[in-house]
Amino acid sequence: MAAAGTLARRPSRAGKSRHAGMSLHAVTVREVRRLTPRLVRITLAAPSLRGFRDDGPDQRLKLMLPLAGQRRPVLPDPDDWYGSWQAMPAHVRPVLRTYTVRSARPELGELDVDMVLHGDEGPASAWAARAAVGDEVGIYGAYGEHEVPEGTDWQLLVADHTALPAVAAVLERADPGQRLLALIEVPDAGEQLPLAVPAGAEVRWLHTVPGRPGAALTEAVAGAQLPEGAGYAWVCADARTAGAVRRQLVGERGLAPDAVMFMGYWRTDGPVDGPALRG
């Protein structure tokens, strides 16, 4: 799996008056727990997280990792975090990747990040595989994208393995009784997690076709029976799949462009430099 810059398109934000404040935190690993063979939950803690404000179920943060030989990362200027990060010399600049906040407990000053493990080909995966209590990293965030417009009759959630933490959180907060279909692609049955699924929602697990990540999702979307009425789609997967699904939904299934939020969490054709990276 290659790291990727975020490709994102989202509906109008006119209905959301404000977002949670973005802030920089130096945090410490409080707990590491393996959820599946390829998914690990890392609990991060800091006194400053007691002021963490929720911005929705799929809120994401920037994870800043130390370089080889460093005990902790050198963090950028919080007043201009990205410009400051870019200006750092290579031997100082922390590794930067984007991950979903799976859950936050500001009363305890901690939050959970679920990370997919795919060997040492990505620096974040390599770090997560070896993470231990007491390790120090930085985070900046968080910011959510899942915004269901008023008057929506049904939702379609389309997610791959990297988006599993986000779609799990979206399902937890979905209103009972609303028609909702979640299509989730993971490598195999061992990566299927128990999910809190509200009444009216359906989850369909799909398994990745070897050598064709995302193919199971695009085929499932093409064959899905979508309800009548106003729909909202949330699509998060590799960039190629997210774009293909969006084209299906708008060009072939008749959803309005501003009713589809899609985001590329990673991509298969090589790494991209940028502030929003995964893996």
CATH number corresponding to 154-266: 3.40.50.80
- Mapping DSSP to helix (H, G, I), strand (E, B) and coil, where does residue 78 land? helix
Residue ranges per domain, the chain?
20-143, 154-266
Taking the C-alpha atoms of residue 7 and residue 267, their distance in angstroms, rounded to an integer, is 10
Give pLDDT, residue 7.
41
**pLDDT score recorded for residue 31:** 98
Region of 161 on the Ramachandran plot (φ > 0 left; ψ -120 to 50 alpha; else beta): alpha
DSSP for 152-198 reads: --EEEEEE-GGGHHHHHHHHHHSPTTSEEEEEEEESSGGGPPP----
Would you give per-residue pLDDT tens digits along the chain (279 residues)?
Answer: 333 333 444 443 334 445 566 899 999 999 999 999 999 999 999 999 998 988 999 999 999 999 999 999 999 999 999 999 999 999 999 999 999 999 999 999 999 999 999 888 789 999 999 999 999 999 998 889 999 999 999 999 999 999 999 999 999 999 998 899 999 999 999 999 999 999 989 999 999 999 999 999 999 999 999 999 999 999 999 999 999 999 999 999 999 999 999 999 887 664 333 333 344
Residues 6+ apart with CB under 8 A from 75: 24, 26, 64, 94, 138
Torsion angle in degrees (nearest 10) through CA of 272, 274, 277, 279:
50
Say which amino acid occupies 164: L
Quote the pLDDT of residue 219: 97
Per DSSP, the three-state class of 140 is: strand
What CATH number is given for 20-143 in this structure?
A: 2.40.30.10
- Widest CA span in the chain: 57
